[in-house]
Amino acid sequence: MKYRTVVMYVEIGCFVSCLCGWILVCSTLPTEYWTFSEVGSIVLTTSNYYSNLWRDCISDTTGVSDCKDYPSMLALPGFLHACRALAVSSVISGFFGGVLVLVGMKCTKIGGSEIANARVTFAAGITYLFSGFCGMITYSWWARKVISEFLDPTFREQKFELGAAVFIGWGGSILLLSGGTLLTYFSGKEGLPKTSSARPRRPHTYASARTRRTYMLPGSAPRRTPGPPLFYEGRRSRAATKTSLTFNRDSFV
């Protein structure tokens, strides 16, 4: 089986995993069971209190339930606002990640070249990772607050336990993170430019031991200071060419 076919099946599996995780994260937003508490006042009557990011609800064994939205948005604590923002960011980024991965997958053939599709798939993997991290932070932060209040002996208000929505959100976030990690790895391996840290070597020369003085590398030649030549080939030195003048007695006559 070719490497391209293997990567194509891996991308399909990662897309299915991320899609299932995104659906699970979306399903937790309208679910009321983020926190749950059961209070039994009478033997035949039990009150159940549960809440989520948007509302508080109460029900009893008779089947009567009542939900009420939070009265004031500005009066809510900053913890609740942060959880809302992270949950909505997880849903939105997961949607755009699905659009990008549909464009960049090898089996869809919507994009351009192989490198361009790999880069689009890499962007989709990063988006899925962001979505998974936002979801994981939201549910983990919510669970930490609920557990710390439940185990605190000085906390006098009503104590809650973790609801089913938190566990569903954890599962969806894990699927998003695992699928996004594999997409990022395989697409980044193909689409991103490879940088080599090795220093380029000089080409080998054909200089032997005898011809080393003739074929020397430019950097290995010793430096010489420029100056006038001491000897000119083909000419004799001035001392050798200078003839001594002789005079005789007849030359003066």
- CATH number of the CATH domain containing 119: 1.20.140.150
Rounded to whole angstroms, how far apart are CA atoms 88 and 113?
34
**What integer is the mean pLDDT of 169-190?**
90
Rounded to whole angstroms, how far apart are CA atoms 121 and 108?
12
Residue 7 falls inside a structural domain:
yes
Range of the domain at 6: 1-40+47-59+75-191
The position carrying tokens 């710390």 is 148
Q: Which of 30-34, 40-44, 230-234 has the highest mean pLDDT?
A: 30-34
Rounded to whole angstroms, how far apart are CA atoms 103 and 101?
5
What is the per-residue pLDDT for 166? 93
Cα-based distances in Å from 28 to 31, 138, 173, 201: 5, 11, 11, 58
Average pLDDT of the chain, as a whole number:
77
Rounded to whole angstroms, how far apart are CA atoms 176 and 186?
16
- Give yes or no for residue 43 having a pLDDT over 60: no
Residue 133 falls inside a structural domain:
yes
What is the per-residue pLDDT for 42? 54
Residue 81 falls inside a structural domain:
yes
234: left (phi over 0), alpha (psi -120 to 50) or beta: left
- Mapped onto helix, strand or coil, the DSSP state of residue 36 is strand
What is the per-residue pLDDT for 170? 94
The position carrying tokens 């339930």 is 65
- Give yes or no for residue 30 having a pLDDT over 80: yes
**What integer is the mean pLDDT of 110-126?**
84
Give residue 25's pLDDT band: very low, low, confident or very high (50, 70, 90). very high
Residue 223 falls inside a structural domain:
no
Domain count across the chain: 1
Encoded amino acid at 123, one letter: A
Rounded to whole angstroms, how far apart are CA atoms 152 and 102?
48
Q: How far apart are the first and last CA of the chain?
A: 116
Residue 146 falls inside a structural domain:
yes
Closest CA to 119 of 18, 179, 189: 189
CA angle in degrees (0–180, nearest 5) for 27-137-87: 35
Share of the chain above pLDDT 90, in %: 30
Residue 138 falls inside a structural domain:
yes
What is the per-residue pLDDT for 3? 77
Residue 29 falls inside a structural domain:
yes
Rounded to whole angstroms, how far apart are CA atoms 107 and 144?
42
**What integer is the mean pLDDT of 77-95?**
92
Give residue 186's pLDDT band: very low, low, confident or very high (50, 70, 90). confident
Residue 110 falls inside a structural domain:
yes
Closest CA to 19 of 140, 186, 121, 172: 172
Q: Say if CB 143 and CB 48 are below 8 A apart.
A: no
What does the DSSP 8-state code read for residue 182?
H
What is the per-residue pLDDT for 252? 45
